[in-house]
Amino acid sequence: MEDAFAWPHDPSGMYTARSTYDKLNQGAIRSPTAAAIWRSWAPLKCKIFAWLAVQHRLWTSDRRTRHGLQDNTSPCYTCLQEEDTVEHIVVQCVYARQVWHTCFDSLQINALPPNDTDTLVEWWLRARSGFQGKHKRGFDSVVIGAAWMLWKQRNAKVFNRPEQVKDYSELARAILDEIREWYNAGVGAGGLDRFVRDHT
Ligand SMILES: [Zn+2]
């Protein structure tokens, strides 16, 4: 008997790239927010931001401290009360919660805005469960857009750009304008219109 080649990971015994890829991913844990982020209608730069945010891989002061880039964590640049961390900046800070609340109110979204002990992922998964199909994608897009704008506000303070700093109602309006621009640019496939309101 001559030796014969056989590939054990495909029933046919023939090598396929797909079976190899599946094999390499066996046991991998899928991030619960992966679909929420990558299937949303947010622009790519915002999706990448959200992907890093849910993994705490943004360069906030706690991460900079862990990597030896600063000696101590900084207080939040907005409320000066808690630490500058992803969870604080995007959901827990009183400023962030006012922004979420104002956005949800203007859009008549029934989901509860985050409270001061929620984490971004926990709260997001809970809130999006109230939406179906294309509206779920629309809601995810709003969450990503708002989180991204909250992060940019934090950076405007960190990098000393006072002309960009907004109060919570100005930022909420800027977020709604941003979503409307995405919608006007033709994204959303009928799911984003629910999250666009005329406002001045
Ligand atoms: Zn704060």
- Domains of the chain, by residue range, sit at 33-195
User: 143-168: per-residue pLDDT in tens?
Assistant: 999 999 999 999 999 999 999 999 99
Neighbours of 164 (CB within 10 A): 12
State the number of CA atoms in the 13 A half-sphere of 165 facing the CB: 12
- Distance, in Å, from the CA atom of 158 to the CA atom of 162, rounded to the nearest integer, reads 10
pTM of the predicted model as reported, rounded to 2 decimal places? 0.87
Task: Compute, in angstroms, the gap from residue 92 CA to the centroid of ligand 1.
Answer: 7
Say how many Å lie between the CA of residue 84 and the centre of ligand 1: 7
> Which residues have a beta carbon within 5 Å of ligand 1, which is an ion?
76, 78-79, 93
Ligand 1: distance of its center to the CA of 94 in Å?
6
pLDDT in tens, 161-192: 999 999 999 999 999 999 999 999 999 888 89
Give the up-direction half-sphere exposure of residue 102: CA atoms within 13 A in the CB hemisphere.
18
Q: How far apart are CA 25 and CA 5, in angstroms?
A: 23
Q: How far is CA 30 from CA 23, 25, 27, 36, 57, in A?
A: 15, 10, 9, 12, 17
Per the listing, tokens 């309101």 go with 197
- On the question of pLDDT at 15 being above 50, the answer is yes
CA of 158 to the centre of ligand 1 (A): 13
pLDDT tens readout for residues 36-79:
999 999 999 999 999 999 999 999 999 999 999 999 999 999 99
Q: How far is the CA of 87 from the centre of ligand 1 (A)?
A: 10
150 C-alpha vs ligand 1 centroid, how far in Å?
11
